[in-house]
């Protein structure tokens, strides 16, 4: 006859335990709602080289993600690698902290300003595991600039710009590390970071959200690909073009492996995948410098002469890497999250700086109050087709040139004598063939005023400040002075003996 009392007691105990566990359970459930984030960065990818964009390269994995996601047809990076990656990592225009000009050369000792709060730092504060494989290029000469000291829990890759794809060598030094320990490994660059990314995903248990930054070097020069990849393009007569195509195919293969691993682990539905190139493809030998001959190393495999044309195709845009024209800054990009986003095309102007505020809004993270974002949350543009959250987009501003876009209008100002102002209607003239500044003085004046205001806010270029010492040369690679270089080219920490 005591069964009802016993039953009642058990029920009461269950409610008591549930109540006691409630705060932790609620917190755990809230964490589970935060999406995993995978950002895939291609390097110097031509606008028209992917399969879904009508290119000749076979890219089934990228194509599937793009066609089943939101294709960003007016998405902007910066003219070159370092500024674009800085924009992603900060949500702020590179001119805010002096990284607006060219890239960090091997001989430079500066990096991304340490008072800038980075995307991985903000996500880490929001409860994320932060992981990176691939190319950093935001400071290498001091460990304080390295990824694992800028918010990443884990880093595997290179900290300078381009390296040899098979040896990871640059200027006689092997730039390849895992969490600060330099490595000498066999293998092809893209395969190695793909292997590592898959292992990292396999280690996730679904309880803690993660951010994976998969920063490919491909298809940046030097143009090197495994023979197996080049064999797919044996009907392409030019070896450089076969290599370039093979490099993109290898990247596509690794992206397919990453998606497959997410599906295998049951993480795909709660993972948002973003893809973008840092800038447009190189169309001038000057901006394919990693492939040129190097006096210290001899002829580099995959080399290109200054007067040769690199293989990237940015059609229908003019210009390429290093240029303010659309071919240099308007890049292939898309966002894929089947659980939340329906396939569509977004033609609204968006910029790399919009990524960080968007992801932090989804993740429950915060930026730095004293370093306000230039970017805006673009989620409604992605999910609902709303207009761009940006009133205008600063493409870049330097001491000698700048460009800004507002709506369909884009202005490029060249300050070098004799000076030139160019205005283009991108809706009618995406190839920027006709300067219509004279016919539209009010629009030109408005955009010039906007560009001038940005120029007043910029900090001095760290590249310009550093470069006179090198008279145009990139110089020898400089690592942290606490490291020496072994005979095999691997940096190692100095051992300071007691006096």
Query: pLDDT 10s digit of each residue in the chain, 499 long?
Result: 444 443 344 334 443 434 444 444 444 444 458 999 999 999 999 999 999 999 999 999 999 999 999 999 999 999 999 999 999 999 999 999 999 999 999 999 999 999 999 999 999 999 999 999 999 999 999 999 999 999 999 999 999 999 999 999 988 899 999 999 999 999 999 999 999 999 999 999 999 999 999 999 999 999 999 999 999 999 999 999 999 999 999 999 999 999 999 999 999 999 999 999 999 999 988 788 654 444 433 445 666 777 788 999 999 999 999 999 999 999 999 999 999 999 999 999 999 999 999 999 999 999 999 999 999 999 999 999 999 999 999 999 999 999 999 999 999 999 887 889 999 999 999 999 999 999 999 999 999 999 999 999 999 999 999 977 665 557 777 777 666 777 777 887 765 444 4
The domain that holds 442 is classified in CATH as 3.30.1120.10
The domain that holds 374 is classified in CATH as 3.40.720.10
Same domain, 231 and 144: yes
Same domain, 295 and 443: no
Count of domains in the chain?
2
137 is catalytic: yes
In a domain, 489, yes or no: no
In a domain, 290, yes or no: yes
In a domain, 289, yes or no: yes
Same domain, 281 and 329: yes
Q: Is the peptide bond before 283 cis (omega within 30 degrees of 0)?
A: no
Which pLDDT score is estimated for 495?
54
Q: Which of 342, 360, 391 is the last residue of a domain?
A: 391
Same domain, 378 and 428: no
Which pLDDT score is estimated for 418?
80
Q: Is 2 exposed, middle or buried (0-12, 13-18, 19+ CB in 10 A)?
A: exposed
Direct distance between the N- and C-terminal alpha carbons of the chain, in angstroms, rounded to an integer: 85
CA 242 vs CA 27, 219, 247, 320: distances in Å = 52, 12, 9, 20
Q: Phi then psi for 131, rounded to 5 degrees?
A: -130, 145
- Among 476, 458, 460, smallest CA distance to 109 is for 476
351 is catalytic: no
Q: What is the pTM of this model?
A: 0.91
Same domain, 234 and 101: yes
Which pLDDT score is estimated for 492?
73
In a domain, 210, yes or no: yes
- Among 92, 53, 88, 58, smallest CA distance to 72 is for 53
Same domain, 238 and 347: yes
Which pLDDT score is estimated for 16?
42
In a domain, 497, yes or no: no
Round to whole Å and give the CA distance between 366 and 368. 7
Which pLDDT score is estimated for 330?
98
Round to whole Å and give the CA distance between 97 and 294. 31
Same domain, 378 and 431: no
Q: From the centroid of its chain, how far is CA 436?
A: 33
Q: Do residues 267 and 38 make contact, with C-beta atoms less than 8 angstroms apart?
A: no
- Residue 72's domain comprises 34-391
E strands in 235-374 = 271-277, 333-336, 344-346, 350-351
Q: Which of 391, 420, 442 is the last residue of a domain?
A: 391
Round to whole Å and give the CA distance between 414 and 397. 10
What totals of helices (H) and strands (E) does the chain contain, helices first? 12, 20
In a domain, 487, yes or no: no
Catalytic residue among 81, 108, 140, 351: 81
In a domain, 89, yes or no: yes
Same domain, 104 and 253: yes
In a domain, 26, yes or no: no
- Beta-sheet strand order (sheet of 393-397): 393-397, 401-406, 409-414, 420-425
Same domain, 178 and 198: yes
Same domain, 448 and 348: no
Same domain, 313 and 451: no
Catalytic residue among 108, 137, 220, 351: 137
Which pLDDT score is estimated for 19?
42
Round to whole Å and give the CA distance between 211 and 435. 43
Give the number of C-alpha atoms closer than 13 A to the C-alpha of residue 487, restricted to the C-beta side: 0
Q: Is the peptide bond before 96 cis (omega within 30 degrees of 0)?
A: no
Residue 217, SS3 per DSSP? coil
DSSP state of 176: -
Same domain, 448 and 336: no
DSSP state of 50: S
Which pLDDT score is estimated for 284?
86
Q: Which of 340, 357, 391 is the last residue of a domain?
A: 391
β-bridge partners, 133: 156, 214
Round to whole Å and give the CA distance between 438 and 257. 52
Cβ-count burial 136-167 (b if 16+ within 10 Å, e if not): bbbbbbbbebbbbebbbbbbbbbbbbbbbbeb
């Amino acid at each position: 006859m005591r069964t009802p009392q016993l039953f009642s007691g058990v029920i009461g105990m269950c409610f008591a335990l549930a109540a006691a566990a409630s705060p932790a359970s609620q917190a755990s459930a809230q964490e589970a709602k935060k999406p995993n984030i995978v950002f895939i960065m291609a390097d110097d990818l031509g606008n028209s080289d992917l399969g879904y964009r009508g290119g000749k390269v076979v890219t089934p994995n990228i194509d599937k993600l793009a066609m089943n996601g939101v294709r960003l047809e007016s998405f902007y990076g910066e003219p070159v690698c370092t500024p674009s990656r800085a924009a992603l990592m900060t949500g702020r225009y590179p001119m805010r902290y002096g990284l607006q000009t060219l890239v960090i050369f091997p001989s430079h000792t500066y990096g991304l300003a340490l008072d800038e709060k980075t995307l991985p730092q903000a996500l880490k504060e929001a409860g994320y595991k932060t992981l990176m494989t691939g190319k950093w290029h935001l400071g290498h000469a001091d460990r304080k600039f390295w990824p694992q000291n800028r918010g990443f829990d884990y880093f595997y890759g290179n900290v300078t710009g381009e390296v040899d794809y098979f040896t990871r060598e640059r200027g006689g030094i092997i730039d390849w590390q895992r969490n600060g320990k330099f490595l000498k490994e066999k293998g092809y660059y893209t395969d190695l970071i793909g292997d590592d990314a898959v292992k990292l995903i396999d280690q996730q248990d679904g309880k803690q959200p993660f951010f994976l930054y998969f920063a490919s070097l491909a298809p940046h020069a030097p143009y090197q690909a495994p023979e197996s990849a080049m064999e797919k393009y044996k009907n392409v007569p030019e070896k450089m073009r076969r290599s370039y195509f093979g490099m993109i195919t290898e990247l596509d293969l690794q992206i397919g492996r990453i998606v497959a691993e997410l599906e295998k682990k049951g993480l795909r539905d709660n993972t948002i995948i973003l893809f973008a190139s840092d800038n447009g493809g190189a169309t001038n030998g000057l901006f394919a410098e990693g492939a040129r001959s190097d006096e210290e190393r001899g002829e580099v495999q995959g080399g290109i002469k200054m007067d040769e044309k690199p293989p990237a195709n940015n059609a229908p845009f003019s210009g390429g890497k290093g240029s303010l024209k659309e071919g240099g800054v308007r890049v292939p990009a898309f966002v894929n999250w089947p659980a939340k986003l329906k396939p569509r095309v977004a033609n609204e102007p968006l910029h790399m700086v919009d990524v960080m505020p968007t992801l932090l809004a989804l993740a429950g993270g915060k930026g730095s109050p004293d370093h306000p974002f230039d970017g805006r949350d673009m989620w409604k543009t992605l999910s609902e087709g709303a207009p761009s959250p940006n009133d205008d987009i600063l493409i870049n501003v330097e001491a000698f040139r700048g460009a800004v876009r507002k709506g369909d209008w884009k202005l490029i100002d060249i300050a070098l004598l004799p000076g030139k102002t160019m205005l283009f209607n991108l809706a009618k003239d995406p190839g920027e063939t006709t300067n219509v500044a004279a016919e539209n003085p009010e629009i030109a004046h408005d955009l010039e005023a906007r560009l001038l205001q940005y120029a007043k806010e910029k900090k001095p270029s760290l590249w310009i400040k550093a470069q006179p010492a090198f008279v145009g040369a990139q110089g020898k690679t400089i690592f942290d002075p606490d490291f020496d270089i072994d005979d095999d080219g691997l940096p190692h920490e100095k051992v300071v003996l007691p006096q």
